[in-house]
């Protein structure tokens, strides 16, 4: 295979592939249907032209028939007037017209046969066109249904070109998002490490570290103060508890002493009212201490 023939073959194959991808079966069917309708119209125009030509020949034949009748009358009139020469000329013209009429009859007959054939072909072509139209509509419906089903299947499975574009767009967006998140985290880390200075502040990284140390020292000092305060509060509570215990012991001793006195008073038989008053006073005092 030569270079030129191979190049031609490759170009034809490429063009054929492009045409196959660009071809729409529904459009092709519609175009074929229109072509068949155009052929039918051409056949009808051909029949009309043929019929017109036949009618023209028939009209010419009628004129010749009229001429034959006229020449026949002329020959008769010339014979009555003893003009054989005029009768002979009229008869010669009559013969000529009759030959022309025979030729016209033959042409009209041929045209009629052609017209009949064209009419038969027209009817056959029209029938085929109707059959093709029915089949065309059926094929278009099947193709559109198959195309819709294919689009739905591609959308569900993600196989189609459009879904591929959508998937690639999502992947690109995810990659860009991850890059931006990684960059933001890196910038925060560098800022926290002091690699970048704050353009809105006059302090450098050393100043910021010193401030952080100072803040930490202040927190520790405040914590120690709180611990000290909490320790003092506990000691006072213990002291108050000890004082309350001592007071209760003193009251109990007083009560024992009064009971001894009451026993002695009962034995002596005097001072009962004073003892009872002292006892009530002590009980009230003990109640107040217990409430406190």
Encode the chain (292 residues) as per-residue pLDDT tens digits. Answer: 577 777 776 777 777 666 666 667 788 888 888 888 998 898 889 889 989 999 999 999 999 999 999 988 888 888 888 888 888 888 898 899 899 999 999 999 998 998 898 899 889 988 998 998 888 888 888 878 887 887 777 666 655 555 566 667 778 888 888 888 888 888 777 766 666 555 445 555 666 666 666 667 777 777 778 778 776 444 444 545 555 566 666 667 767 776 776 666 555 544 556 656 666 776 676 666 555 5
- The answer on 155 and 33 residing in a single domain is yes
- The answer on 147 and 69 residing in a single domain is yes
- The answer on 135 and 238 residing in a single domain is no
pLDDT of residue 86: 86
Specify if 31 maps to a domain: yes
- Is residue 93 a contact partner of residue 66, using CB atoms and an 8 Å limit? no
Distance separating alpha carbons of residues 26 and 67, to the nearest angstrom? 62
The 10 Å Cβ neighbour count of residue 64 is 19
- The answer on 148 and 32 residing in a single domain is yes
Distance separating alpha carbons of residues 151 and 160, to the nearest angstrom? 8
Task: Please state the domain count of the chain.
Answer: 2
User: What residues have CB less than 8 Å from 68, skipping those under 6 apart?
Assistant: 94, 97, 98, 101
Specify if 5 maps to a domain: no
Specify if 196 maps to a domain: no
- Point out the domain boundary residue: 159, 187, 218: 159
The 10 Å Cβ neighbour count of residue 96 is 14
pLDDT of residue 52: 92
- The answer on 119 and 221 residing in a single domain is no
Specify if 126 maps to a domain: yes
Instruction: Give phi and psi for 194, each to the nearest 5.
Output: 85, 15
pLDDT of residue 95: 92
User: Quick one: DSSP state of residue 23?
Assistant: -
pLDDT of residue 263: 67
Distance separating alpha carbons of residues 198 and 147, to the nearest angstrom? 61
Closest to 111 measured CA to CA, from 36, 60, 39: 60
- The answer on 120 and 62 residing in a single domain is yes
- The answer on 47 and 149 residing in a single domain is yes
pLDDT of residue 59: 92
- The answer on 219 and 144 residing in a single domain is no
Specify if 152 maps to a domain: yes
User: Quick one: DSSP state of residue 202?
Assistant: S
Query: Which residue range(s) make up the domain with 109?
Result: 17-159
Q: Taking CA 230 as the corner, what is the angle to CA 225 and CA 233, rounded to the nearest 5 degrees?
A: 125
Distance separating alpha carbons of residues 247 and 243, to the nearest angstrom? 6
pLDDT of residue 145: 84
- The answer on 224 and 127 residing in a single domain is no
Q: Taking CA 122 as the corner, what is the angle to CA 117 and CA 126, rounded to the nearest 5 degrees?
A: 155
pLDDT of residue 236: 47
- The answer on 239 and 105 residing in a single domain is no
């Amino acid at each position: 295979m030569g270079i030129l023939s191979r190049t031609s073959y490759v170009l034809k194959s490429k063009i054929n592939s492009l045409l196959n991808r660009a071809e729409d079966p529904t459009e092709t069917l519609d175009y074929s249907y229109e072509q068949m309708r155009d052929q039918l119209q051409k056949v009808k125009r051909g029949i009309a032209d043929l019929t017109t030509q036949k009618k023209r020949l028939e009209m010419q034949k009628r004129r010749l028939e009229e001429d034959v009748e006229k020449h026949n009358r002329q020959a008769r009139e010339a014979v009555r007037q003893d003009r054989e020469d005029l009768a002979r000329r009229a008869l010669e013209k009559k013969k000529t017209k009759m030959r022309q009429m025979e030729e016209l009859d033959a042409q009209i007959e041929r045209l009629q046969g052609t017209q009949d054939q064209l009419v038969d072909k027209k009817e056959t072509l029209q029938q085929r066109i109707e059959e093709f139209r029915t089949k065309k509509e059926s094929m278009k419906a099947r193709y559109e249904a198959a195309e819709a089903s294919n689009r739905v299947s591609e959308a569900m499975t993600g196989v189609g070109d459009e879904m591929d574009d959508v998937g690639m767009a999502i992947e690109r967006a995810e990659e860009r998002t991850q890059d931006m998140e990684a960059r933001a985290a890196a910038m925060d880390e560098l800022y926290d490490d002091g690699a970048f200075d704050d353009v809105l502040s006059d302090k450098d990284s050393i100043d910021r570290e010193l401030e952080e140390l100072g803040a930490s020292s202040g927190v520790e000092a405040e914590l120690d103060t709180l611990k000290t305060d909490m320790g003092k509060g506990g000691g006072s509570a213990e002291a108050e508890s000890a004082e309350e215990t001592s007071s209760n012991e003193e009251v109990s001793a007083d009560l024992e002493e009064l009971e001894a006195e009451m026993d002695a008073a009962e034995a002596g038989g005097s001072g009962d009212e004073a003892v009872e008053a002292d006892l009530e006073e002590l009980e009230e005092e003990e109640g107040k201490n217990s409430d406190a």
